[in-house]
Structure 1
């Protein structure tokens, strides 16, 4: 296969977002739009990726450096148009001999499958391929004017289009592909003879045609190339992405009673045979195995739920939670960085933070793993088959042995031996007649 590289344009100002967060770092499905763009081109076979950034958003360049390294950053300064932006990547791709894909960083629904037709057209003999979509409402999109053989003659901006050209629904997506050498040569010949004195990438069509090259058109869906330029656009992309991802999970056998109320993340993994009740939020890093049930109003992030386990309703699983087969994590139970063994139960009103719960152990209501002393975290381990009484505070580091019991209301600060009973509470004291005397004194004061 011919070597492939990608240039991702991420230097836009993004002013319509009206946010301190740069546009391309806004998230869809819990993943930044920029990361989604990188994911798409890498999945399309682009081994080298260069992201064109602006000086106004150093956070974008830093994000790219953390993921791809210094060589993946190209700075457009000053911003002089889209053709100028792609040319900013020329030095970073010096010596590269292969095909270059140019994409946008603000199209969060784009996938490798949507980009594949560009490479197919290049393999079929086109010298330059522009990615198009058929718009339901072309509005202000640039119209792609083709001849009878499908060759692209020009791209006409809506404001410059004739009445006949405005009837064309084939519009330009802002993405293209070509061999590296010719691509940068053509871009260098683009002029800025326009009202804004900017170098527009659409002008490359005329340059390539003038050189006698074949300019072809590849197609993607309008949804795939849909940009997100403001907060409403991000929300719209989120809705499309969630619907698509839910549909894929249900096609794979996941049961959802009310799928529109289940919110997923980009890396959520749910096996067929799992059941999702309404109103569940999955943060990043969740894996749910077949046969597990996630009940309503639960929030999961960075967690694993094994087969047959029941989580919720109203449960919260935080990073590091590993819920074993047939275990139960019930209402208003929070689990963080704890491995819960097979068949163990924490059915209500508990906080389990840092440690482990053995198989078939029972955690009573109101139990707290006291894992933080203000400076450091420590672990609590509850052994297999142990029974922790309601309203127990287990002060870490501490271990409850296999089969041991703790009495309700105990504050356990020392290890408990296997099969032992640990009690830690003050003796009950009863003062006969105290309540009646208290009430009488209070009433007497009120009457004065």
Structure 2
């Protein structure tokens, strides 16, 4: 299975002087941390999905042998993901570039939980609150409040099977969307 690192966004909520994927946590750009976690996992090939909104990230990706770039117009996460999916064979694992705690073990756990169709990876919103991580989106499932992690498996559009993988893994619960999230990620490293 291939993997896509989504790293073409503006990162306006982070309010940092650098592009969000290049924001450093633990002395390394987040996109490098995510790309390395994917490269060390069971995924076969890692592609970085870039856009005109993050030109420095595109340059950074071009200098890494372990990444190939997929150019998108930067019309939003979903639109860019649709374009990137046309360049790879499904199913494909997708990961946001703002997950600096992601590692190969966490990725492999997601891959092991996938059997067919698409897979949405979530954590309990209570876990994010307990950690002190920001929460931008939640949904209810069976009376529980869940938050998407930024890691998913996207299947062929003709496959209607969709499953959910709920995990209590803090490595998937911290998306760096704000400076307070970056501080939390530094503490947890």
Contact 1:72–1:92 (8 Å) recurs in 2: no
Does 1:142 pair with 2:152?
Answer: no
Q: Distance in 2 between matches of 1:85 and 1:9?
A: 9
- The structural deviation recorded for 1:221 is 3.0
- Once the two structures are superposed, the pairs formed by residues 279-428 of structure 1 within 5 Å of their partners are none
Q: 1:214 to 1:230 in 2, by over 3 A?
A: same
Does 1:106 pair with 2:54?
Answer: no
Q: 1:140 to 1:38 in 2, by over 3 A?
A: closer
Contact 2:9–2:74 (8 Å) recurs in 1: no
- The structural deviation recorded for 1:144 is 5.0
1:27 equivalent among 24, 29, 33:
24
Q: Which has the larger radius of gyration?
A: 1
Q: 1:56 to 1:83 in 2, by over 3 A?
A: closer
Residue 38 of structure 1 corresponds to 35
- The structural deviation recorded for 1:91 is 4.3
Q: Distance in 1 between matches of 2:146 and 2:47?
A: 28
Q: Distance in 1 between matches of 2:111 and 2:178?
A: 31
- The structural deviation recorded for 1:133 is 0.7
Q: 1:104 to 1:231 in 2, by over 3 A?
A: same
Q: Distance in 2 between matches of 1:109 and 1:217?
A: 21
1:12 equivalent among 6, 9, 12:
9
Residue 371 of structure 1 corresponds to none
Contact 2:9–2:54 (8 Å) recurs in 1: no
Contact 1:115–1:220 (8 Å) recurs in 2: no
Does 1:230 pair with 2:178?
Answer: yes
1:89 equivalent among 84, 88, 105:
84
Q: Which runs of 5+ in 1 are unaligned?
A: 147-166, 187-207, 242-448
- Once the two structures are superposed, the pairs formed by residues 70-85 of structure 1 within 5 Å of their partners are 72-79=68-75, 81-85=76-80
Residue 252 of structure 1 corresponds to none
Contact 1:14–1:229 (8 Å) recurs in 2: yes
Q: 1:173 to 1:144 in 2, by over 3 A?
A: farther
1:172 equivalent among 142, 148, 154:
148
Q: Distance in 2 between matches of 1:233 and 1:135?
A: 15
Report the TM-score, using the length of structure 1 for normalisation.
0.38
- The structural deviation recorded for 1:231 is 2.2
- The structural deviation recorded for 1:223 is 2.3
Q: 1:68 to 1:142 in 2, by over 3 A?
A: farther
- The structural deviation recorded for 1:116 is 2.3
Does 1:122 pair with 2:114?
Answer: yes
Contact 1:128–1:177 (8 Å) recurs in 2: yes
Deviation per CA, 1:328-352: give whole Å up to 9, x if none. Answer: xxxxxxxxxxxxxxxxxxxxxxxxx
Q: 1:144 to 1:114 in 2, by over 3 A?
A: farther
Contact 2:139–2:145 (8 Å) recurs in 1: yes
How many aligned positions are there? 182
Deviation per CA, 1:173-209: give whole Å up to 9, x if none. Answer: 2321144xx1xx36xxxxxxxxxxxxxxxxxxxxx6x
Contact 2:42–2:108 (8 Å) recurs in 1: no
Contact 1:135–1:222 (8 Å) recurs in 2: no
Report the TM-score, using the length of structure 2 for normalisation.
0.83
Does 1:65 pair with 2:62?
Answer: yes
- The structural deviation recorded for 1:140 is 4.5
Greater relative CO, 1 or 2 (CA 8 Å, sep 6+): 2
- The structural deviation recorded for 1:53 is 1.4
Residue 258 of structure 1 corresponds to none
